[in-house]
Amino acid sequence: SSVFAALAQAPEDPILGVTVAYNKDPSPVKVNLGVGAYRTEEGKPLVLKVVRRAEQMLINNPSRVKEYLPITGLAEFNKLSAKLIFGADSPAIQENRVATVQCLSGTGSLRVGAHYLHPQPTWGNHPKVFTLSGLTVRSYRYYDPATRGLDFKGLLEDLSSAPSGSIVLLHACAHNPTGVDPTIDQWEQIRQLMRSKSLLPFFDSAYQGFASGSLDKDARSVRMFVADGGELLMAQSYAKNMGLYGERVGALSIVCGSADVAVRVESQLKLVIRPMYSNPPLHGASIVATILRDSEMFNEWTLELKAMADRIISMRQQLFDALKSRGTPGDWSHIIKQIGMFTFTGLNSEQVAFMRQEYHIYMTSDGRISMAGLSTRTVPHLSDAIHAAVT
Ligand SMILES: Cc1ncc(COP(=O)(O)O)c(CN[C@@](C)(CC(=O)O)C(=O)O)c1O
């Protein structure tokens, strides 16, 4: 008998489980629009040329060793990552108010940040008090199914009623799964409200440069908050914009009120990381540092990044045109209005299941499709499936 005999079968992950189902499907016309991982026109994963070049340089470097990194990770990677998201001219960086630690990609950055924010109990009774009143997760209104756009009024109302000191998770750009981002004016209203109520922003930036094709444009929301001198947390991922998915490369930055607070914050982050995974992996961070430190490689990266963003935008236009040419019932303009990796189609779970069974189209049950999974070749097949699903 087994000590695990009573264990129940856990369900597949709602997002990564779509790829599991896709891989099992023998159909020659199957299309995977589940996980938000970039694919080329030929439907293949892409390793950026500049990444291959950086790896070659690393391999050719005879003095390279495989020693442990410090708990906080590769220092140069941390500095360059903060500069990338906050801007080279960021006042917070100039005043040494940013504590950055390399983490296991975006998820790892969010996890370390969340762990750090969970109050550090001191008195023996604190754990009971905090576990009873620990970090409770509540959601705020964001997406309006009627307009397939932002429920801005609902968002402001919910943030207005959040208790002062609450932590608010915000997508820096390319909101997942809706593809709906606040406008710059709406971000300014969100910033003012949050600062007036002392709500602590926790930004999640998994698609910088992927949404608009511009690294700086996609960081505007974050930089508005940093410019006001307030504090925030920032989780960065290089999975998508540098195509380093499996290397698990990311960073958590905490912008603090002063330099001496930043020093103490970094020391506390080390207490979270050391017992969690001790220190992060070397290879991916070395690739990123090699690219970000060299202006010529940085420029080559921005060109490849823009090409990926542009291909996704062209897929939006092609899908929209294909549905219009079929006279598919419904307003599909949200396909070209939404931004980033995903389109939130508005298809319901029955329609998603129908498209999987009859057309071998794979997407998450909430109707989200990864536009990067599409190509000129597969747009007609997807449009036929959507047309059949809604008529
Ligand atoms: C908003 C957001 N934050 C963080 C992450 C985590 O990325 P990382 O840990 O790989 O850096 C993702 C990835 N979301 C994907 C692309 C993949 C996934 O679900 O893991 C998605 O399909 O939604 C994301 O969409």
Active site residues: 123, 204, 240
Please tell me which residue, 376 or 166, carries the higher pLDDT value: 376
Structural Rg of the chain based on CA atoms: 22
Say how many Å lie between the CA of residue 206 and the centre of ligand 1: 7
Ligand 1 site, CB within 6 A = 15, 35-36, 105-107, 171, 176, 204, 206, 237, 239, 250
Terminal Cα-to-Cα distance of the chain (whole angstroms): 53
Ligand 1: which of 32, 107, 112, 178 to mutate, most ligand atoms within 8 Å of CB? 107
Residue 129 has pLDDT above 80, yes or no: no
Structure tokens at 133: 């009143």
Ligand 1 atom with the shortest distance to the CA of 34: 22
Strands 143-144 and 149-150: antiparallel
Mean pLDDT of 158-174: 93
CA 88 – CA 83 distance, rounded (Å): 5
Strands 249-255 and 98-104: antiparallel
Determine the atom of ligand 1 nearest the C-alpha atom of 37. Answer: 16
| Band of pLDDT at residue 360, cut at 50, 70 and 90 | very high
Count CB-CB contacts under 10 A for residue 61: 11
Cα–Cα distance measured from residue 367 to residue 347, given in angstroms and rounded to the nearest whole number? 5
Q: What is the mean pLDDT of residues 260-281?
A: 91
| Centroid of ligand 1 to alpha carbon of 191 (angstroms) | 24
Confidence category of residue 135, pLDDT binned at 50, 70, 90: low
Strands (E), the chain: 31-32, 98-104, 143-144, 149-150, 167-171, 200-205, 232-237, 249-255, 342-344, 361-362, 368-370
User: For residues 125 and 131, what is the distance between their CA atoms, to the nearest angstrom?
Assistant: 10
Cα 119 from Cα 386, distance rounded (Å) = 47
* Residues 153 and 140 sit within 8 Å (Cβ to Cβ): no
pLDDT at residue 4, rounded to an integer? 73
Give the pLDDT of residue 121: 31
- C-alpha 107 to ligand 1 mean position (Å): 7
pLDDT in tens, 177-189: 899 999 999 999 9
Q: Is the pLDDT of residue 130 over 80?
A: no
Of 246, 202, 241, nearest in space to 104 by CA = 246
Residue 137 pLDDT class (50, 70, 90 cuts): confident
Q: Per-residue pLDDT tens for 37-71?
A: 999 999 999 999 999 999 999 999 999 888 889 99
pLDDT at 131 over 60: no
**pLDDT tops 90 at residue 126:** no
Q: Which pTM was predicted? A: 0.90
CA geometry: angle at 121 spanning 120 and 127, to 5°? 130
The rounded Å distance from CA 13 to ligand 1 centre is 12
15 CA: nearest ligand 1 atom: 19
Q: How confident is the model at residue 132 (pLDDT cuts 50, 70, 90)?
A: very low
pLDDT digits (tens, 9 = 90+) for 3-19: 777 788 887 888 889 99
Closest protein CA for atom 21 of ligand 1: 36
Interval 267-278 mean pLDDT: 90
Substitution site in 104, 208, 237 for ligand 1 pocket (most atoms within 8 Å of beta carbon): 237
| CA–CA dist 307, 317 (Å, integer) | 15
Omega prior to 177 cis, within 30 of 0: yes
User: What integer best gives the mean pLDDT of the chain?
Assistant: 92
Identify the residue whose C-alpha is closest to ligand 1 atom 11. Answer: 106
For residue 259, what are the CA distances in angstroms to 225, 358, 389? Answer: 18, 59, 57
pLDDT surpasses 90 at 23: yes
The strand pairing partners of 249, in sequence order, are 104
* Distance from residue 207's CA to the centre of ligand 1 (Å): 9
